[in-house]
Amino acid sequence: MEDYHSVNASDAGIVCWARAGGAEDVIPGVDQSGFNYYSYARDGFSLRTGEKIRVVTLAPSITETVAAIGGLDYVVGTDLYSNYPEEVIKWQEKGDISIVGDTPIPTTNGS
């Protein structure tokens, strides 16, 4: 993509984004309002509001990825099934991380 400013996600209900590549690669990160997430934070604080960045992960694989890149300190919520690394469970028990989703796993017997 040559012009990441042309990305418009305003019609989407939910938009997920990720950065995959080097610092020289331009990979759009735009939310449903059209806000561009490049240069949105420095040292864990929002450049726009000055508040500490807060992350909610909604799948165990995302929680593990965020933890692996050193972002666990920013996680304030996870899904029910996120239980790795061990700090996640400890912080959930202490109340530092909230469980924000508890969708049951579907069964094969229809219940």
The per-residue pLDDT for range 56-87, each reduced to its tens digit, is: 888 899 999 889 888 899 899 999 999 999 99
Total domain count, the chain: 2
Does 54 lie in the same domain as 22? no
- Give the integer Cα–Cα distance in Å for 54 and 102: 20
In a domain, 83, yes or no: yes
Nearest 5°: the CA angle 37, 39, 40 is: 55
Does 62 lie in the same domain as 34? no
Does 60 lie in the same domain as 97? yes
Residue ranges making up the domain that contains 89 = 50-103
Does 61 lie in the same domain as 94? yes
In this structure, what are the phi and psi dihedrals at residue 41, rounded to the nearest 5 degrees?
Answer: -150, 155
Does 26 lie in the same domain as 54? no
Q: Is the pTM of this model over 0.85?
A: no
In a domain, 21, yes or no: yes
The per-residue pLDDT for range 1-55, each reduced to its tens digit, is: 455 556 565 554 444 555 555 555 555 566 656 666 566 677 778 777 888 888 8
